[in-house]
Every structure is written in structure tokens, then in C-alpha cells.
Chains A and B, each alone.
Chain A
Amino acid sequence: MSSEPKKILILGATSAMARGTAAAFATRGDSLYLAGRDVAELDRLASDLSVRYSVTVHHGEVDIADCDSHAAFVSRVTSELGGIDGVVLAAGYMADQADAAADFALVEKMVAVNYLGAMSVLDQCANLLATAGAGFIVGISSVAGDRGRQSNYYYGSAKAGLTAYLSGLRNRLSGQGVQVLTVKPGFVDTAMTYGLEGMFLVASPEDVGRQIVRAVEKRRNTVYLPWFWRYIMLIIRHIPEFLFKRLKL
């Protein structure tokens, strides 16, 4: 249990993983600001967290893909929450690979949300935390960003960009007391994976949320969730390209 309640901004708060993470922070007594596009759902989620955990929960609309709105948005959050101690970027968008191959607008949207928008909003938050000289940024990336595979490479390359951005941000902020945590989830039991074939050892979003909070408390840099994905991806990353290119992955 941490000493005093933190003020935490959750971006893309209506996803199952974000809900699990918000619940894990609320369990510690932290105050939350839930941000996303579905305002009606944000309202329901905010009520839920405040009834269940007796914490203060604000909420407001943000479109991660709308970079021009981010500066005003972050200053609004700062004044409503009374400061920001931590940020969780859970906003993400995945279109089916075949659909995206047929419609480039879907590729653009994946890049706009997962990569461009993420950099824009996190830049705003990073400046704020750097000035304060404390705090944390959690970026939820993906194992799909570790190596491009034919089944998912538009999404994967956007997440690879995010992973590289987070690593650079960590490098920049390490001297200023700000932690940057890259989270790479494997299979999590969410709407994104429900009903898909070939799922195994699926983690619950509540569990993933608790592990994210633990990784923040331990000031970790990069975590794979569940942990064994580190080893699965270690193997996948080390398959020589001449072999890898022939695999059906």
C-alpha cells in the first residue's frame, strides 16, 4: 500500500484492461480521471469505481486521434484532478489485418490511435511530470510490436513505434524522477480476443490490472503480462529471418 493517494489519468478508460487497471489503482485509494470517447460509458464506469472503492473519480471526453485537442485536454484534467501523478495509456485500436489490407483508412486509423495520438498525448503529460520531477507513465503496447508477422503487421508496426517511443521517453525522463513503464500484454480475455481461435493461457483483465500496478510500484521499465510472454517473445524475436519469413505466423 502506497503512502498517500495518487492522482491518475487513464486514457482509453472504457476498455476491459483499463477497467482492470483503474480498479487496481482504486483499491489503493487513488483518485482517477477516466478519459475516452464513449461519455455515457465513462459515466457508468466512474460511478462503478466510486461505489465499489469509495474513491473520487472524474471523467471526460478525449479523442486520442485528435492531436490538436491534447494540450487543452491535459490542462483540463490537471485542474479537475488538482494535478497529475501518473498516466496510463490504454487507448488502442486493432482492425482485422485482411480488412486493413483492403481499406487503407483502417491502417491510417491504427497509426493515428496507437502511435501518433499516443505520442501526442503522452508528450503533453511527460512535460508536466518532468516539471514536477516525479510520477509515472504507463504505456500499454503489445507483443505484436516485437516482430512483424503476416497476420497482424499493420497493428504490430504501430505498436512497435509506440514501444520505441516509450523507450526513448524513458531515456529522456530517467534523470528527472519520472518512471516510464512499457506493458506488453499477450492474450488477455477482452473483447479483442473473445471467440478468436488459438487463444491459450488467457489472462483476466483484473489480473493484468493488478500486475500493472505492481510493476508501477516496483518502478519497472518493461513488463510482459502474463510474465511468460517475455520468453515466448524472446524465442520469436530470435528466430533467424531466413526461417521466420517462411513461417505461417
Chain B
Amino acid sequence: MASARKQLSGWGRYPVQECITWRPEKASGLYLATPMISRGQGRSYGDAALNENGNVVLTERVNRFLQFDHETGKLRAEAGVTLAEIIDVCLPKGWFLPVTPGTKFVSLGGCIAADVHGKNHHRDGAFSSAVESFSLIIADGSVLNCSRSENSDVFRATIGGMGLTGVIRDVSFNLRPVESAHVMAQHQQAADLEQAFALLADDATVNDYTVAWIDCLARGRHLGRSVVMHGRHAASDELPAGKSPFDIGARKSRSLPMDFPSFALNSVSVSLFNAVYYRREGRKQKPFVTDIDRYFYPLDSIHHWNRLYGKRGFVQYQCVLPTDTAFEGIEHILEQLSASRRASFLAVLKRLGPESGGLLSFPMAGYTLALDLPVRGKDLFALLDRLDEIVIKAGGRVYLAKDARLGRDSFEAMYPRVSEWRAVKQRIDPDNHFDSSMARRLGLINA
């Protein structure tokens, strides 16, 4: 197998590092005898799937479906399979993903390594909650079967473990039955943060899927104004006559052909957009039918949307704060942000349910806020450090799958179970065969 040196980055396009890439065609080629990290679709934002001057094994071609039971919805597949492929194959048979992040262009392995969550986390937990088992290629090249009953410590260390315990080879998990490829959606306007929290916490209105888009440039009494978006899978008899339940047609996709100039997104253009969006989307207060692609993956129709943030890229800052401290903490974060007049084009607020048991998993019961911030101006990283302090004080954490800049001490403070994780890592990979730029930055591995 031949390798290629490439300048690689995550989805945020910051940082960019030179890595030695390998692209096996089959599962037997996933393991290298020298230190490595695996990389699926490269949709983590920072340096999780980078290994500066080291090996990066691309899993994109190791994407075989191994078994699909139409009756039970149980699927076994190689970890390089993407969620988009699963939807293509399984949705026409009445099965959808149990949990999905905001893009379907991610690999199964990545979903486990980052223990991704979706708009239904408050009800159904993170991606790992639907995972029955997976096989893991560990440091010596042998294969370990991992589940809640077999090698359970490795299972828990691999969920959210950012690829550092081994290479996930095959995954067995359960899909969710749906009657259609359509979604019944409904929006509510929240005039400020307090109202947004109230709407997200209200179990009477909260649906299978609930998330709030938040205008993070709004200040003063409008601070935290939001559109709360609910959704649930539509039953086949709810669809307008003549609509076939699983046929949503091919969606037109476009591609951003080039980098936007870095000034394109500024506080003026974004607050203008936000004002319009708040009114337009906030008006949809009666239930309406939309489809799975439009509802879950609005940005997937624009390939390379990350070019929107210019050549220098962007960072996504996503944190979760426990229920008790969340309101005060997020209010504080939004104040800092709007005072800095930094425009986050996308800002999302969501309630999360209990932890999954993954030792480095991100979600915890509370509220999560996600912000996209272009890499621009030298005070950006100082601002994010200040946000870290707020998050730590509140007992929360930031999401490693989005992270490109967190410091070691902050990381230790945010992830109290890292010592348990290190014990597993030490046992199955004492020589750090699996290593990444993120692991070195955060001190996840012993140097």
C-alpha cells in the first residue's frame, strides 16, 4: 500500500497540518504497524483526525454493509460506511438512524469515536445508546469485540474516545422504525433566553426532536432570542394525499466554489440575517410537513459550506452546562459574545439528557450551546479561553469533536473521568500506537 503526504484539516479548516495518508481498500488494510490515527469523513472540526507528520489512515473505502435485518432494523456494517449511505439503503425499507448529527456525511466510526448526539438527545441519548457492539483493532493488530458485556471498559473508553483506543472495524447497532421519510415540524418564538430555556424544558411541547436556533448578536432584553424547532417523524396517514411515504426525491445540492472573503460574515451582515430568520422561521407556529433531508441536514445541500468562513477557517465552540448552572452560564457566555461583536453565523441551543457512560463522551444532562466563529483577530482565542472558565465554573465541558484549541488544564477540569480512560489506554495501548494531534495537544496520551 502506498501513502501520500497531504495538507489536512478538519471541517473547520483550522488547523492545517501535513500528514502521511494511507487509503486501504479493505478492512484488512486498516491497521498500520507504525503509530497512526484513523480518519473517516474528516467532519470533526479541529485536530481530532490529524496527526502532524504522522500516519492518518483514511477509512472511506472500508464501507461494506455486512448484515441488515429488515424485520428488526439491526444493522452491521464496516465503520467507514456513512450515515448518508445508511439512509439510502435503509430508509426505503422503513428504517432511519436512531440518532443523527446535523450532517449525514459522517462515518459510523466517527459517530462512535465522537459519541455524537442529535436533536433527540433529551429522549434517546447519544449515538452509542443504539450501539450493541463493535470490533476494535487494537495496538498489537488483534481484534477485540466490545460491548456493554464484553470488554466493557474498552467499549466505554472507545465511545467518545476520539479514535485513540484503536480502529473501529465493524459496528452493530439498531435503527429506528419510521412510517415515512417526512417530518412534522413546528416552530415557536422565544423572545429571550429565559423563554427559550422554558420552551426547551417543557415536556408537554417538547417533541422527539427539539433544538433552538439562537440569535447570538441580540443584546439587552433580546439576549438569547430564539426560534425553538420541534419535530417528529410523520405517520404515513398524516401525509397529504398523493405523497408517497418514502419518496422525497433527489435533493438539489450546490457547492460553494471558493472561499468567501473573510469580511463577508461580519456583525452587520449576520445580525441582518438573524433578524430576518427570527421573523420568518418564528412564524411557522402551525405544524408543517418537511422531509428528513431538509429537517436534519439543511446544510448538506451546500457542499463545502465551510468555505463561507474564508480561507483561515473557523472554530466551532460547543459546550454543555449542567441543568442547574446552565441558564446563568449561557447568559454569561452570550453576553461575552455579543459584547465582543463576534458574529456566529450558526448558533444552536439544545437540552441534553443524561450521560451515555462513555468515559470521554461529551453529552451530560443540561444545555448545550454551539457557536461557529471565524478565525480572525488575535483576541478570538483569548475570548474562548474566557468562555472555558465560565464552562468550568459551571461544571460543564466543551465538545472534543469540535475543538481545535482547548488547553490541557481546562481539558482535565472538564473531563473528570479522564483518569479512568487513561487506565484503559495504558492497558491496551501502552506505547501510544494510536495517537493524534489532538491527543498530544490535550495531553491525552503520556508524552
Question: Which of B4, B21, B67 is close to A47, meaning CB atoms less than 8 Å apart?
Answer: B67
User: Number of contact residues on B: which range applies?
Assistant: 10 to 19
Q: Tell whether A194 pairs with B28 under 8 Å between CB atoms, given A44-B78, A47-B67, A51-B65.
A: no
Is A45 part of the contact surface with B, judged by Cβ < 8 Å?
Answer: yes
- Min C-beta distance of B107 to chain A, whole Å: 15
Interface positions, chain A 126-165, Cβ under 8 Å from B, are none
Contacts of B4 in A (CB 8 A): 194-195
A38 pairs with B28, CB closer than 8 A: yes
Contacts of B28 in A (CB 8 A): 38, 40-41
- Min C-beta distance of A157 to chain B, whole Å: 23
- Min C-beta distance of A234 to chain B, whole Å: 29
Closest B residue to A44 by beta carbon equals B64
Interface string of A35-76 (1 = CB under 8 A from B): 000101100110110011000000000000000000000000
Closest A residue to B3 by beta carbon equals A195
Interface positions, chain A 6-20, Cβ under 8 Å from B, are 14-16
Q: Tell whether A196 pairs with B64 under 8 Å between CB atoms, given A15-B25, A44-B27.
A: no
Of residues A44, A190, A196, which shows the largest number of chain B Cβ atoms within 10 Å of its Cβ?
A44
- Min C-beta distance of B65 to chain A, whole Å: 4
**Number of chain A residues whose Cβ lies closer than 8 Å to a Cβ of chain B:** 17
The B contact surface, by secondary structure, is mixed
Interface positions, chain B 54-81, Cβ under 8 Å from A, are 61, 64-68, 78
Bound together, the chains give a CA A40 to CA B143 distance in angstroms of 15
Is B256 part of the contact surface with A, judged by Cβ < 8 Å?
Answer: no
Is A191 part of the contact surface with B, judged by Cβ < 8 Å?
Answer: yes
Is B176 part of the contact surface with A, judged by Cβ < 8 Å?
Answer: no
Bound together, the chains give a CA A44 to CA B27 distance in angstroms of 9
Interface string of B351-375 (1 = CB under 8 A from A): 0000000000000000000000000
Contacts of B25 in A (CB 8 A): 14-16, 190-191
Closest B residue to A45 by beta carbon equals B64
Contacts of B23 in A (CB 8 A): 191, 194
Interface string of B6-33 (1 = CB under 8 A from A): 0000000000000001011111100000
B1 pairs with A51, CB closer than 8 A: no
Is B2 part of the contact surface with A, judged by Cβ < 8 Å?
Answer: yes
Show 23 A/B contacts (Cβ-Cβ < 8 Å), sorted by A: A15-B25, A16-B25, A16-B61, A38-B26, A38-B28, A41-B26, A41-B27, A41-B28, A44-B26, A44-B27, A44-B78, A45-B64, A47-B67, A48-B64, A48-B65, A51-B65, A51-B67, A51-B68, A191-B1, A191-B23, A191-B25, A194-B23, A196-B2
Closest 4 CB pairs of A and B: A195-B4, A48-B64, A195-B2, A51-B65
